[in-house]
């Protein structure tokens, strides 16, 4: 399951977005008050498979969101000690771009580019503290005796420290597989992929539509879109709140009036998937139709582990049919008759929208 953590300064709309996406009622109030909620991933392919099989259960893929009280201008260090933030696959920075004179901005004025950079600086400073403390311990240990592994870790952390001191987030570094493994335990915040959620005025939503480049231009955030491992979505939380209270047809009509094909909430989830290189495969049957989230490039045996570790350990083969083949033929039996169901081994790379039946021995 994809895990994302929301960050943002006070009065940005961060917690409103969390409540909308997860149907949560309570807002976090302090550093120790952390909320975790689940959001269902919209997927019309799962809808089609559910209509085909009419199962007892329809189970979409999910995204876990973490939210805590907004940090002060020097408060990103608080995130370092929160498991939901350390273990997140990505950070979602909600940036205030709406004016609303009745809602005071903590810095006295609305400036999305300033806030985006200020939060980036906080993440960098928090990571710098972690790296420097670890380097101090390594130097003490190396004085007791030489260690090749510690020397490699020291050299890597010195490289990270220099990058951070230059005011650059760690997500910009090009790292080898071994380097990534060495850094994994630190869970550096500035190394995590970043999704910018631009919280617009209602009038700006109508002007920008789903054109994120236009939204970035309106808010002065164009330069941030070029940053490594960074994506952006523009929405208006007050409009999303209205849409969330409407029935399906009314919600679609509201979105159409704004020139949008889907809700901002759906776009946040979809863009998060794109940012992290995630995709979904499906398992189907009369009991259940379910979507499973995995990273692109995942082999079949590892994908089986998403369902259950026993299936991964006892993997024999994966019976695979493409989504388009199943929906066009109308049934798995028809797919077998036409020879489009394939038997794949444990190293087969699962493709987006594969329908898979895993054979295994316990």
Confidence of residue 68 (pLDDT cuts 50, 70, 90): confident
In this prediction, residue 359 carries a pLDDT of 97
pLDDT score at 71: 57
Q: Which of 17-31, 84-98, 314-328 has the highest mean pLDDT?
A: 314-328
176-210 residue pLDDT tens: 999 999 999 999 999 999 999 999 988 888 777 67
Instruction: Say what the pLDDT of residue 259 is.
Output: 81
The span from the CA of 189 to the CA of 167, in Å, is 14
| SS3 label, residue 57 | strand
pLDDT at position 12 is: 93
Domains in the chain with CATH codes = 2-110+192-276 (3.40.50.300), 124-190 (1.10.150.300), 297-360 (3.10.20.30)
State CA 94 to chain mean position distance: 13
pLDDT-derived band at 75 (thresholds 50, 70, 90) equals low
Cα torsion 149, 152, 154, 155 to 10°: value is 170
pLDDT digits (tens, 9 = 90+) for 271-287: 998 899 999 999 999 99
Residue 142 phi/psi, 5° resolution? -70, -25
Task: Give residue 241's pLDDT band: very low, low, confident or very high (50, 70, 90).
Answer: confident
* One-letter-per-residue 3-state SS of 110-121: CCHHHHHHHHHH
pLDDT band at 76 (very low <50, low <70, confident <90, very high): low
Indicate the pLDDT class of residue 258, thresholds 50, 70 and 90: confident
pTM, to two decimals: 0.89
Share of the chain above pLDDT 90, in %: 68
């Amino acid at each position: 399951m994809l895990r994302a953590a929301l960050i943002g300064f006070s009065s940005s709309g961060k917690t409103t977005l969390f409540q909308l996406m997860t149907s949560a009622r309570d807002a976090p109030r302090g550093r120790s008050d952390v909320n975790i909620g689940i959001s269902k991933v919209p997927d019309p392919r799962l809808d089609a498979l559910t209509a085909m099989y009419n199962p007892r259960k329809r189970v979409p893929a999910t995204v876990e969101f973490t939210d805590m009280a907004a940090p002060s201008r020097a408060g990103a260090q608080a995130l370092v000690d929160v498991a939901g933030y350390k273990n997140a696959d990505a950070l979602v920075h909600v940036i205030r771009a709406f004016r609303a004179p009745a809602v005071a901005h903590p810095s006295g004025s609305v400036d999305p580019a300033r806030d985006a950079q200020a939060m980036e600086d906080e993440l960098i400073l928090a990571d710098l503290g972690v790296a420097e403390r670890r380097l101090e311990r390594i130097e003490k240990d190396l004085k007791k005796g030489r260690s090749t592994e510690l020397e490699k870790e020291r050299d890597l952390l010195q490289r990270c420290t220099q990058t951070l001191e230059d005011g650059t987030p760690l997500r910009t570094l090009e790292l080898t597989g071994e380097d990534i493994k060495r850094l994994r335990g630190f869970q550096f915040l500035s190394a995590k992929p970043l999704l910018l959620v631009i919280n617009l005025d209602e009038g700006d939503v109508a002007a920008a539509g789903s054109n994120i480049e236009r939204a970035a231009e309106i808010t002065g955030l164009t330069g941030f879109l070029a940053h490594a491992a960074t994506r952006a979505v523009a929405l208006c939380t007050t409009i999303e709140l209205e849409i969330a209270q409407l029935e399906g047809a009314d919600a679609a009509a509201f979105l159409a009036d704004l020139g949008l094909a889907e809700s901002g909430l759906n776009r946040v989830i979809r863009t998060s998937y794109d940012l992290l290189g995630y995709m979904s495969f499906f398992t189907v049957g009369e009991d259940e139709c379910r979507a499973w989230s995995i990273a692109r490039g995942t082999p079949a045996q590892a994908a089986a582990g998403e369902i259950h570790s026993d299936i991964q350990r006892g993997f024999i083969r994966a019976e695979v049919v493409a989504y388009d083949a199943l929906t066009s033929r109308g049934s798995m039996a028809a797919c077998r008759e036409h020879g489009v169901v394939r038997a794949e081994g444990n190293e087969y790379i699962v493709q987006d929208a594969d329908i898979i039946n895993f054979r295994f021995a316990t």
